[in-house]
Amino acid sequence: MTRVFFIISIVLMIIFFSGCKVSDPLGEEMITSIKINNTTDFIFTRISIRKAGATDWVYNKINTYGPGLHIVNFKTYISASDRYEIELETKYHQTSNKLLATKYNLLFSENGTIDIEQMDFNDPEIANQITKINIFNDTGLNFSIIHIGISNSGTWSMYNLPGPFTNGTVCTLTNFDTPLNAQLLYDLQLVSTNGNIKATKRNQSLKHQGTVVYEQSDLD
């Protein structure tokens, strides 16, 4: 009999602790950490949080968070029912002492993830800057060169693709002559090694780390 009670007690403890969530005295669900996905090329060193509409920030010094997914533990509980703003601060940058990226009107959940994107930077020049894009080749053909130019400008910048850009692969472009701008439209043209085969996409709105997909219908 004692053994039966012991087993039942263990089962009840497992059920209780596996389903337990942090709550305030009124029973409201509270969150102590969130996931931050840094999709930019910058490194953040501090994150601040406040309720939407508040004036004072609660500062959280963090380990250096480069590109990728990170878990941020806060010094205070966050209500799952309130809306918040978060602000991330970078290391020194050549354009200013610090750069700030801000997200507004956020609702947090226990397993949710907040994406920090280039467009979240407070400095418009940085927010609109594109230094990396992906090209997916779904044309059925191979290419070796890509031309990129502002739409209707009549000028192109030529970039050699790394190795043969074969069908079904993704190529990441980073070394632009000057950073691309998210406020502008661009024409992009893939060219084969002998120059006989071209695939063109026009009036494209680009996004930092976004992907441009080339299909057979894009062949000239």
Q: From the CA atom positions of the chain, what is the Rg in Å?
A: 24
- 180-198 pLDDT per residue, tens: 999 999 999 999 888 888 9
- Structural domains present in the chain: 2-127 (2.60.40), 129-218 (2.60.40.2890)
User: What pTM did the predictor assign?
Assistant: 0.69
Q: pLDDT higher for 31 or 27?
A: 31
Average pLDDT for residues 88-111, to the nearest whole number?
79
94 membership: H or E segment, kind and range: none
Q: What is the pLDDT of residue 1?
A: 53
Length of the chain: 220
Contact 142, 164 (CB under 8 A): yes
Judged by DSSP in three states, 71 sits in strand
Q: Quick one: which of 134, 133, 130, 141 has its CA closest to 218?
A: 141
**Following DSSP, what letter does each residue of 30-66 receive, concatenated?**
EEEEEEEEE-SS--EEEEEEEETT-S--EEEEEEEE-
Instruction: Please give the single-letter amino acid code of residue 143.
Output: F
- 73-97 pLDDT per residue, tens: 877 778 888 999 999 998 755 555 6
